[in-house]
């Protein structure tokens, strides 16, 4: 039995599992699944005509990869590598800290249904989550490494910083999840200088402030440098808000250029298309419906200024109705449960020689995922409770167990990142899609594995003494 545990704890065994997971994701999702959003970003990368409707960082990276190989395959390889490298690194860090084979649970995370389901879809949500995961794993290694080489620490901190910044650039609201991780980054940089790492030091605080300012400024700076086409996508949220308020007071509150578009706009149509689960029906005609969507978006500066004025005045005048609309949309996301493979990602294949029929192992994997579609794994609201419980337990650990304070602080960071990311959707009226809580579920699972592992280790030490 001792020999079996020894081999299971070996670095070679962890590498084999991580490599197997990496290859499995590529084989199942080859050459990479695309939704309409990711297809649009691919087209932007391919043609070099960028739009700020989607953050441009992912399209810029994809454009560079297209020079090596055209298609989604390299993006699939990249995000699968980030996923399994991050999980492997966490496994090895905690193998040195904990006894037994419990750290192998980190690698099991990669094949849980609510994680595996998105691993091969080329989405900005997935790129963000996997980048943050790999960055977190590097931060954890820096914090836990016992007298590492200074050069290795610097390389790890630099790479983790790149991943943190890239993750924050691929979604408009990704910064909410990045904020709690800034002190970890600051602490890693601090260790680069003199080998000392203290999460609550004054130097860490000053570095955190500087890094936070840089993170906030990265997206605007990138847009200034690259100059993408301005689509002013915030108008989607503003018009969706006006629809919600208008229906609650039974009065149209839209700007004149919307109301005067008699070919499309009427309040009966707004009432028909409006729902808290998604605003897309209000804007897009591609849902196979017989009559057009009632609202349109614009790039005209004058119309945008009018929209801003109408939106601000409407929110101020009817703020209870606005809050009610926002709450309905947010609760729709949390209540998400209707799930099918087609709703996860349309398989739009862009490699010329790809066969339309999936291999048997891909079909088997999809069938395995569908078996879990009705479980609590796919209920965002249940993850809120798990996150809050994790925050409470981690905070208690920080206060009461000094020898593990750093580990509980890492857990607290992950749970806070998960909570802030979900909470941010209360403001942007997102559609009800589980991918919007993908990072939050990831961070929560990793946080609880560390919490339980640390508690087991402390209990084992206390029993011996």
Q: Is the pLDDT of residue 341 over 70?
A: no
Q: 198-202, 221-225, 263-267: which has the minimum mean pLDDT?
A: 198-202
Condensed to tens digits (0 to 9), the pLDDT of residues 126-148 reads 999 999 999 999 999 988 877 66
HEC sequence for the chain:
CHHHHHHHCCHHHHHHHHHHHHHHHHHHHCCCEECHHHHHHHHHHHHCCCECCCCHHHHHHHHHHHCCCCCCHHHHHHHHHHHHHHHHHHHHHHHCCCCCCHHHHHHHHCCCHHHHHHHCECCHHHHHHHHHHHHHHHHHHHHHCCCCCHHHHHHHHHHHHHHHHHHHHCCCCCHHHHHHHHHHHHHHHHHHHHCCCCCCCHHHHHHHHHHHHHHHHHHHHHHHHHCCECCCCHHHHHHHHHHHHHHHHCCCCCCHHHHCCCCCCCHHHHHHHCCCCCCHHHHCCCCCCCCCCCCCCCCCHHHHHHHHHHHHHHHHHCHHHHHHHHHHHHHHHHCCCCCCHHHHCCECCCCCCCCCCCCHHHHHHHHHHHHCCCCHHHCHHHHHHHHHHHHHHHHHHHHHCHHHHHHHHHHHHHHHHHHHHHHCHHHHCCCCCHHHHHHHHHHHHHHHHHHHHHHHHHHHHHHHC
Q: Give CA angle at 110 (106, 112), nearest 5°.
A: 105
Contact between 398 and 409 (Cβ < 8 Å): yes
Confidence band of 99 (pLDDT split at 50, 70, 90): confident
Q: Is the pLDDT of residue 369 over 80?
A: no
What pLDDT was estimated at residue 331? 86
Confidence band of 377 (pLDDT split at 50, 70, 90): confident
Q: Extract the tokens encoding 7.
A: 């081999």
Condensed to tens digits (0 to 9), the pLDDT of residues 167-221 reads 999 998 899 999 999 988 888 888 777 666 666 677 778 888 888 899 889 888 9
What pLDDT was estimated at residue 430? 66
CA dist 453 and 98 (Å) reads 7
Give the closest residue to 368 by CA, choosing from 31, 122, 116: 116
- Length of the chain (residues): 465
CA dist 261 and 265 (Å) reads 6
Confidence band of 48 (pLDDT split at 50, 70, 90): confident
What pLDDT was estimated at residue 342? 37
**Mean of pLDDT over the chain:** 84
Q: Is the pLDDT of residue 5 over 80?
A: no
pLDDT (average), residues 242-271 = 89
Portion of the chain with pLDDT greater than 90, in percent: 37
Confidence band of 346 (pLDDT split at 50, 70, 90): very low
Q: Is the pLDDT of residue 349 over 50?
A: no
Contact between 398 and 412 (Cβ < 8 Å): yes
Could you tell me which residue, 379 or 162, shows the higher pLDDT?
A: 162
Q: 136-145, 266-275, 355-364, 414-423: which has the minimum mean pLDDT?
A: 355-364
Could you tell me which residue, 319 or 401, shows the higher pLDDT?
A: 319
What pLDDT was estimated at residue 309? 94
């Amino acid at each position: 039995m001792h020999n079996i545990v020894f081999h299971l704890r070996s670095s070679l065994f962890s590498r084999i599992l991580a490599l197997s997971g990496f290859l499995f994701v590529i084989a199942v999702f080859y050459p990479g699944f695309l939704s309409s959003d990711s297809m649009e970003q691919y087209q932007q990368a391919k043609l070099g005509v960028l739009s700020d409707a989607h953050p441009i960082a992912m399209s810029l990276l994809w454009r560079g990869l297209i020079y090596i190989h055209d298609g989604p395959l390299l993006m699939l390889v990249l995000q699968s590598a980030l996923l399994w490298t991050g999980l492997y690194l966490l496994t090895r860090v905690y193998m040195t800290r904990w006894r037994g084979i419990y750290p192998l649970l980190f690698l099991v995370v990669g094949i849980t249904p609510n994680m595996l389901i998105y691993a091969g879809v080329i989405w900005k949500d997935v790129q963000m989550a996997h980048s943050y995961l790999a960055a977190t794993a590097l931060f954890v290694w820096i914090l836990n490494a016992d007298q590492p080489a200074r050069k290795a620490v610097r390389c790890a901190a630099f790479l983790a910083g790149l991943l943190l910044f890239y993750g924050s650039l691929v979604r408009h609201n990704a910064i909410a999840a990045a904020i709690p991780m800034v002190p970890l980054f600051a602490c890693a940089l601090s260790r680069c200088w003199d080998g000392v790492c203290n999460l609550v030091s004054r130097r860490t605080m000053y570095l955190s402030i500087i890094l936070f300012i840089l993170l906030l400024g990265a997206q605007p700076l990138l847009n200034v440098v690259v100059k993408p086409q301005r689509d002013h996508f915030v108008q989607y949220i503003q018009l969706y808000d006006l629809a919600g308020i208008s229906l609650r007071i039974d009065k149209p509150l839209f700007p004149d250029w919307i109301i005067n578009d008699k070919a499309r706009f009427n309040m009966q149509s707004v009432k028909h298309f409006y729902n808290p689960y998604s605003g897309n029906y209000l804007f897009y005609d591609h849902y196979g419906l017989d009559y057009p969507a009632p609202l349109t978006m614009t790039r005209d500066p004058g119309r945008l200024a009018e929209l801003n004025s109408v939106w601000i005045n409407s929110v101020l005048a009817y703020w209870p109705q606005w809050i009610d609309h926002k709450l309905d949309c947010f609760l729709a996301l949390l209540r998400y449960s209707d799930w099918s493979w087609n709703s996860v990602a349309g398989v739009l294949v862009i490699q010329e020689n790809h066969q339309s029929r999936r291999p048997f192992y891909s079909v088997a994997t999809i069938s395995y995922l569908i078996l879990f579609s009705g479980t609590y794994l796919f209920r965002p609201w249940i993850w809120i409770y798990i996150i809050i419980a994790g925050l409470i337990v981690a905070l208690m650990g920080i206060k009461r167990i000094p020898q593990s304070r750093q580990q509980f602080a890492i857990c607290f960071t992950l749970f806070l990142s998960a909570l802030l990311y979900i909470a941010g959707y209360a403001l942007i009226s997102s559609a009800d899609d589980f991918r919007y809580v993908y990072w939050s579920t990831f961070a929560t699972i990793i946080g609880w594995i560390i919490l339980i592992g640390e508690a087991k280790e402390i209990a084992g030490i206390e029993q011996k003494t």
